[in-house]
Structure 1
Amino acid sequence: MEEGLVDWSDLPPELWPKIGKCLRNRIDVLRFRSVCKLWRSSLPPTNPNSPSFPLQIPYPLSSSVSSNLIEATFYRIEPSPPHETPSSSSSSSSSSPKGWLIKVQSSPSMRLLHPLSNRQLMNPSPNSPNLWNLLNYRVIELHKSYTLQKFSHLAGAVNKVVFFPSSSSWVADIEDSVACCIYLEGKLGFMKYGDENWTLVDDKNSYYDDIIMYKGQIYVTDRWGTISWLDISSLKLLQFTPPLCGFGNKKHLVESCGNLYVVDRYYERELPRNRRRNYHLHLDQYAVVEDFKVYKLDEDWGTWVDVKNLGDRVFVLASDCSFSVSAKEFYGFKGNCIFFTDFFDVRVYNLNDQSIVPFEADPSSPQLFWPPPPWLRV
């Protein structure tokens, strides 16, 4: 063995299960278990006490209607260098090559989804295998999203769902799981594991726009840009920020590099109500976006900072969640941009010149999601 290197196999065997349970996502667990027989036997592939998806829960609008909570995961996937082994790969390496953004729903069956529109993506050819050998790729888990199964008469009634902990988490058991959702374009619902019905958290405010897990707590914003966090034990909302007083039509919460942002979405026009199928449908899909404003929360001073440049960061406003990534780590991403969906499907907003272009109009953008690169077959 080279001088200065540590032989990890000399660690006492009883330490491996404790080390393995510090892993926070499924990919890291797979890597851990793939190193050797000892490591594989010290940790099961999943936490036996964690939630299993799809998770059957009541639908917020009707306790007599049972629904499935479905989990999906966003990944960055890239080819591993020829000399690299799974045990030597590092998701935090600064020299990582560019990758592609994919979204995978693993239950009830594995499906590859478009990361923004949530449409199912088809195999590139009838002869493509349905097997990924993760030994050949570097796969980095980025974000998880949750959706409730929709019913024809309640389509679009639930706008956003957050759930904690995820199915791959070792830090808590299913008895500690909680779900929170925004439904009917602004009501806030809460449920603990084992509850038979959802609880309406705030009966005085039906104008909540977005919800996010931030630093282990649930935060919500209303249409005036006031952010509150939810005290799970008392189900009380505690005001966290002053009102933003932005004049946009909808507020999105995004975490980026440990900071909390509000993205204010401005609509150019709305389609007449008789053009919508019913009043539950997401307004995002039936209105045209004309502008965005971005604000960063200065937690030290409790004030909002008007952000004009995101630098290398890209904000992704997907249909079921919002998150941030580094543009330099992806093909097809440009820094200082917002990817979103509206009436015209997937579009890109550039903060440099406030321009909005269709996703397909940028020749580099289609590389981001689909068709997949030649080394990926699904």
Structure 2
Amino acid sequence: MLRARNMSPSNISWADLTPDAILTISECLDTHSDRLRFRAVCHSWRKPVPPPQDKHLLPKEMVFPSNINVMEQFSYRYVLFQSTIYRLEDPEGPPNDGWLIMVNESGEQGKFSLLNPFTMQEIEDLTEAYFPKELNSLGFRVTEVTKSFTLSWVRNEPNNPQQFLIGGANDLRELEHKAVLSSDFESDKRFYVISDSRLCSITVGEDYWSLLYRNIEYRDLASYNGFVYGVDRFGVVVETDEWSHDSITIPSPYPFMGDWYLVKSGGDLLLVGRDYSVCHDQVYYLNSTDSFIKRPGVREDVFVDFKICRLEEMEDGENQWEDVDDLGDTVLVLSRKWSFAIDASDFDGIKGNRIIFVDEVKYPEYSDADDREGDEFLRLLLQDVKVRVFDVEDNFDVPIESRPEYHSIFWPPPDWLMDHRPLPPHQTGRQ
């Protein structure tokens, strides 16, 4: 039992905890932000606890052989990036006034870039009218929602060393790869990516990619309980052991081709599929672009339906998918870039049993970027994507811009954040 020195239990002061007790408590904190906030409580708590270090030490640069010419080899490199979704709350406000922020953490301590949560692209040239230039996380309640990892091919430029390779003659098919880290990444430095619809294993420090299970074209992947799961556009899932790389196939729970997502929600792994068979007269699949296209002449909204399943281990040790008819308080956020789950009760005005999703259907004849409701930046946020809210119970969806209670968890920033002022130096956790 941990006890402050020379103090009876009834008179213990948190400031009088022994250094060993403080260090032991700090080691139970899981996230970088929690450890930083712990050190900021007071000097006696900061002194025995070393400054938090990023476990993954990302972004990390890697070099692999390429089929581009030798001169171009020196201009490009792969970088493994880490992005994080945080829920911020006003410490003086109610417990359900959360706001989500997505950031790309740079290699420089305390520096980050604000990302568009729907495209994962950096939001540049923001004025202070839209977002504070400095944001001290110690002034808020901060909860880490999820992390995402991306392996990107970037161009070396003297004035912008992490310039993404986009557009022009150098535009390549595979610029970014969704990645998941192994459960023991700190030791084995191994991670997994989808490249050209195939699952590959990569170890930091090695100069090759190991191609794993070859028999399906992967759409999404997730790591869960020591296994890597990949799903194809028909809902067939391959479960691969991280250590042996042995793989088994889990049959699709529904016989349709569509957009499939793997999402971790609480302690469960969910498989979510958008069923395009219900709108086959409105869309068609184009193999060359690997996407569903709205048919010419179709004026009405494309009908949307989702199927949700949870991975369950059976008595014989085999895994199978079980139907989920109600998400309860959970809201799923889905896109090809990344997917995650939140609790509706953490936010003001929204309801659970909903899916916020990026509409992956291509609309070649229609552009409504200039007609979006909301402020100028909301229109910018949704300029290249359609985002909708799906009600699981009523089987009905609407554009997110028509539901301010849902888009406001992403944008605009709440008043209490915009009014925030940096804390004085003695409260920042700096040594």
**TM norm. shorter chain > 0.5:** yes
What corresponds to 2:89 in structure 1? Answer: 78
What is the aligned counterpart of 1:25 among 9, 16, 31?
Answer: 31
| Greater mean deviation of Cα atoms: 263-272 or 328-337 | 263-272
Does residue 1:53 correspond to 2:68, yes or no?
Answer: no
Which residue of 248, 253, 274 maps to 1:244?
Answer: 253
Alpha carbons of structure 1 residues 30 and 247: separation in structure 2 relative to 1, 3 Å: same
RMSD, matched Cα: 3.3
Is this contact kept in 2: 1:99–1:329, CA < 8 A?
Answer: yes
Correspondence 1:182 to 2:199: no
Mean Cα deviation higher: 341-350 or 253-262: 341-350
Distance 2:257 2:130 in 1: 48
Alpha-carbon shift at residue 294 of structure 1 (Å): 1.0
Provide closer, same or farther for how the CA distance between residues 46 and 340 of structure 1 changes in structure 2, counting only shifts above 3 A: same
Partner of 2:106: 107
Determine the C-alpha separation between the residues in 2 that align with 1:293 and 1:282. 21
TM-score by length of 1: 0.80
Deviations for 1:114-150, whole angstroms, at most 9, x for unmatched residues?
3223244463535964222333211111100112224
User: SS state of the match for residue 368, structure 1?
Assistant: coil
State the alpha-carbon separation in 2 of the partners of residues 116 and 7 from structure 1. Answer: 46
Could you tell me how far 1:340 is from its partner in structure 2? 1.1
Partner residue, 1:163: 181
Matches within 5 A, 1:1-378: 4=10, 6-8=12-14, 10-47=16-53, 50-58=55-63, 66-81=77-92, 96-107=95-106, 110-121=112-123, 123=126, 125=128, 129-150=132-153, 151-152=165-166, 153-156=171-174, 158-164=176-182, 174-184=186-196, 186-203=197-214, 205-239=215-249, 241-267=250-276, 268=279, 269-270=283-284, 279=288, 283=291, 290-300=304-314, 302-331=319-348, 333-342=350-359, 343=362, 345-377=386-418
Q: Cα distance 1:68–1:198, how it changes in 2: closer, same or farther (>3 A)?
A: same
Among all aligned residue pairs of Structure 1 and Structure 2, give the percentage whose two residues are the same amino acid: 33
* Alpha-carbon offset, residue 202 of structure 1: 1.8
Provide structure 2 residue ranges, at least 5 long, that are not aligned to the other structure: 1-6, 154-164, 296-301, 363-384, 421-431
Q: Which runs of 5+ in 1 are unaligned?
A: 83-94, 166-171, 274-278
Which amino acid in the other structure matches residue 140 of structure 1?
T
Deviations 1:301-357 (A, max 9, x none): 544322222121111113422111111112463311111112452111111222121
Q: Do the aligned partners of 1:211 and 1:218 also contact (CA within 8 Å) in 2?
A: yes
Deviations 1:5-36 (A, max 9, x none): 74455554245444433322111111221123
Q: Return the alpha-carbon distance in structure 1 between the equivalents of residues 89 and 43 of structure 2.
A: 26
Q: Give the distance between the partners of 1:180 and 1:350, measured in 2 at CA.
A: 33
Q: Structure 1 residues 119 and 347, CA, compared in 2 at 3 Å: closer, same or farther?
A: farther
**Taking structure 1 as reference, are residues 319 and 247 closer, same or farther at Cα in structure 2, changes over 3 Å only?**
closer
> Structure 1 residues 286-295 or 338-347, which shifts more?
286-295
Aligned partner letter, 1:57 = M
1:235-275 deviation digits (Å, cap 9, x = unpaired): 22244x444244141321112221221101223424756xx
Q: How many residues align?
A: 350
Offset at residue 286 of structure 1 (A): 8.7
Q: Which has the higher contact order (CA 8 A, sep 6+)?
A: 1
SS, match of residue 35 in structure 2: helix
The superposition leaves residues 209-256 of structure 1 with CA deviations (integer Å, 9 ceiling, x where unpaired) of 2211223542223344343433233322244x4442441413211122
Instruction: Give the whole-Å Cα distance in 2 for the aligned partners of 1:285 and 1:19.
Output: 54
Give the Cα–Cα distance (whole angstroms) in 2 for the partners of residues 128 and 181 of structure 1.
33
CA distance in 2, matches of 1:352, 1:262: 18
Q: What SS class does the counterpart of residue 416 from structure 2 fall into? A: coil
The aligned amino acid for 2:222 is I
For the pair shown, the structure with the greater C-alpha radius of gyration is 2
- Kept after mapping to 1: 8 A contact 2:285/2:293: no
| Contact 1:332 1:367 survives alignment (8 Å) | no
Task: Name the SS of the counterpart of 1:135 in structure 2.
Answer: helix
Letter in 1 for 2:272: V
> Given that residues 360 and 366 in structure 1 are in contact (C-alpha distance below 8 angstroms), is that contact kept between their aligned partners in structure 2?
yes
Q: Secondary structure at the match of 1:290?
A: coil
Q: Give the aligned residue type for 2:106.
A: S
2:415 aligned counterpart, secondary structure: coil
Shift of 1:176: 2.6
Pair 1:23–1:3, CA change in 2 (3 A): closer
Cα gap change, 1:233/1:62 in structure 2, threshold over 3 Å: closer, same or farther? Answer: farther
Aligned partner of residue 138 in structure 2, secondary structure: helix
Distance change in 2, residues 1:61/1:260 (3 Å): farther
The whole-number CA distance in structure 1 between the counterparts of 2:386 and 2:8 is 55
Q: What's the TM-score once normalised by structure 2's chain length?
A: 0.71
2:335 partner amino acid:
A
Report the counterpart of residue 159 of structure 2 in structure 1. none
Q: Aligned partners of 1:182, 1:47: CA distance in 2, in Å?
A: 29
Aligned AA (2:56): P
- CA 1:13/1:32 → structure 2, altered by over 3 Å: closer, same or farther? same
Q: Which amino acid aligns with 2:37?
A: R
Q: How many Å separate the matches in 2 of 1:312 and 1:154?
A: 41
Q: Which amino acid aligns with 1:149?
A: S
**Is the contact between residue 266 and residue 289 of structure 1 (CA under 8 Å) also seen in structure 2?**
no
